Amino acid sequence: MPGYVDEVVIPYDRDLGPVLFEHYGADTARRVAGQAPLDVLEIAAGTGIVTRHMRNLLAKEARLTAIDISDTMMDVARQKFQPGEQVTFMNADATALPFDDESFDAVVCQFGIMFFDRDKGLREVYRTLRPGGRYLFRVWDSERYNPFASLSFEVFKHYFPSDTPQFLFDPVSCHQIDPLKEQLIQIGFDPVVISVQRHVYDILDVTAFARALVYTPVIFEIRDRGGVDPEDIVKQLAEAFKKEFGSGPTRYPMQAILFETEKPKA
């Protein structure tokens, strides 16, 4: 994901990860491991949250490959593994996978497809899957169900009413189910199973969560506009979360859409 550089990656992994990604990552790993694949590819693996869960559950002999376009994220991911754990990390483009046809039994992508060309990405998954192989990916539902986007935007709008930073709308830009379903079917995937998954997480350190949201790549939009201390935005965003969802703990809701599909056997 472009923009995920040094100052962004650590809070992303440490403070956003447990809230937004761990629960769904564990669920992804259970679903994939339940099919006992031997060759698994994870696309847009980021800081290795899902990768770690999958490696814990996959058979020891299973080969796991994790790719991301960000070297910085991959560096954080590598630190979560010991030598010999049968994980290969690669810097690679999801729209031009550097793998032979029919290389994998399963492909996974959690909250990544909104950041690259979807048609090219889906076709590359289809090409590299073996017949009968499974593709599992998640997208965030709309901002209506994900206040990391909607509430952040309202706070940003207070500081930048005429040119409000938009980056946190990118993750929730892929919530329309029918276009994705149609793309999958046209490419050849079948069957396509879709489910909506709601989750609530108790945030104990709301300020750290708010700071991590501000220090996503949206921080570069904030700095480009100038005139505002990012820490002031952090404080107001933390207060907005507490006001909306309580404190001690903050009961934070989120909602994702899961797509599970296959490359049909010949």
Task: Indicate the number of domains in the chain.
Answer: 1
Residue 158, number of CB atoms within 10 A of its CB: 14
Q: d(Cα 231, Cα 234) in Å, to the nearest integer?
A: 5
Tokens of 137: 């990916």
The answer to whether residue 228 is domain-embedded is yes
The answer to whether residue 1 is domain-embedded is no
The answer to whether residue 167 is domain-embedded is yes
Q: b/e map of 233-250 (b: 16 or more CB within 10 Å)?
A: bbbbbbebbbeebeeeeb
Nearest-10 Cα torsion for 10, 116, 147, 140: -110
Give the residue numbers spanning the domain of 258: 6-262
The answer to whether residue 105 is domain-embedded is yes
Q: d(Cα 53, Cα 33) in Å, to the nearest integer?
A: 10
pLDDT at position 140 is 98
The CATH code of the domain that includes 198 is: 3.40.50.150
Query: What beta strand segments (E) does 218-264 contain?
Result: 250-262
pLDDT at position 261 is 98
pLDDT at position 2 is 41
Tens of pLDDT, residues 13-71 = 999 999 999 999 999 999 999 999 999 999 999 999 999 999 999 999 999 999 999 99
The answer to whether residue 32 is domain-embedded is yes
Amino acid at 104: F
Q: d(Cα 91, Cα 135) in Å, to the nearest integer?
A: 20
Amino acid at 26: A
Residue ranges in the chain modelled with pLDDT below 50: 1-3
Amino acid at 253: P
pLDDT at position 135 is 98
pLDDT at position 76 is 95
pLDDT at position 113 is 97
The answer to whether residue 162 is domain-embedded is yes
pLDDT at position 118 is 96
